Chains A and B, each alone.
Chain A
C-alpha cells in the first residue's frame, strides 16, 4: 500500500498564499493530481499531471512535484477557496489519495 501524507489543516488570510504539501515515497517520479471538495459536494479536479489546469480552473492554483513531496499553492486565497483538498497518485496500478487538508480562509 502506498501512503500519501498531507497536513490535516491549513489556515490562510484572504489574499495571502496557502501551501499544502503531499508526501510519498519517490512521489516526484509519479504524476500527482489535486482535487478540491467543498462541503456537500463531489470532489473536483483542479490540477492534473503535477501542474496542469483543467478548463475553468484559475491559475492561482499552482502545483509542483519534486523528490518526495508535491505541493499545491493557492495564491491570493479567497473565501470561496475554503474546502478540503486531496492529492492523488497511482502506484502499482492502484489510485491512492492523501488524507486530505482542510483549508480555512480567515
Chain B
C-alpha cells in the first residue's frame, strides 16, 4: 500500500518561501511521479506540477515562475518550494503519487495546511 506524508511549516509570512516535503512509505506500486496539488479553504483543486523519479519536472504554467520540485535526501522523498507567497497561496497542499505523466493521480497524502500570514 502506497502511503504519503506531507510535512512542513504550517505558517509562512508573505513574500517568503513555502517549503514542503513528501515522504513515501510502503509499496511504491510502480509509481514514478510525484505531483503536488493544492486546495484553498472551501475551494477546488489546483495541480501545481510533478517531479519524475529521474529528476525531470513539469509545472502548471500559472505557477511555473515560482515553483521548484526536487528529490529529497532519500529516494522516498520529494520536496516542493514555492517562492514569494501571498495570501492567495493559503491552501491544503497534497502530495500525490502516480504512474504516468499524463494519467490518473492515484495515491494521495492526507495533506498539510499552509497559511500565509504575517
Residues in chain A within 8 A of chain B (CB atoms): 1, 31, 33, 35, 42-45, 48-49, 54, 86, 88, 90, 93-100
- B106: which A residues are within 8 A, CB to CB? 45, 48, 54
Main secondary structure of the interface of A (DSSP, over half): strand
Number of A-B contacts (CB under 8 A): 56
- In the docked arrangement, what's the CA distance between A92 and B35, Å? 16
Within the complex, what minimum Cβ distance (angstroms) separates A53 from chain B? Answer: 11
- With A42-B108, A48-B104: A97-B94 Cβ-Cβ less than 8 Å: no
| Residues A43 and B47 in contact, CB atoms below 8 Å apart | no
- A54: which B residues are within 8 A, CB to CB? 104, 106
B45's partner among A44, A45, A86 (CB-CB below 8 A) is A86
Main secondary structure of the interface of B (DSSP, over half): loop
| Residues B105 and A95 in contact, CB atoms below 8 Å apart | yes
- A31: which B residues are within 8 A, CB to CB? 102-103
- In the docked arrangement, what's the CA distance between A54 and B60, Å? 26
| Residues A44 and B62 in contact, CB atoms below 8 Å apart | no
- In the docked arrangement, what's the CA distance between A90 and B104, Å? 9
- In the docked arrangement, what's the CA distance between A96 and B58, Å? 14
| Residues A100 and B45 in contact, CB atoms below 8 Å apart | yes
- In the docked arrangement, what's the CA distance between A95 and B45, Å? 10
Minimal Cβ-Cβ distance residue in B for A94: B60
- In the docked arrangement, what's the CA distance between A2 and B111, Å? 25
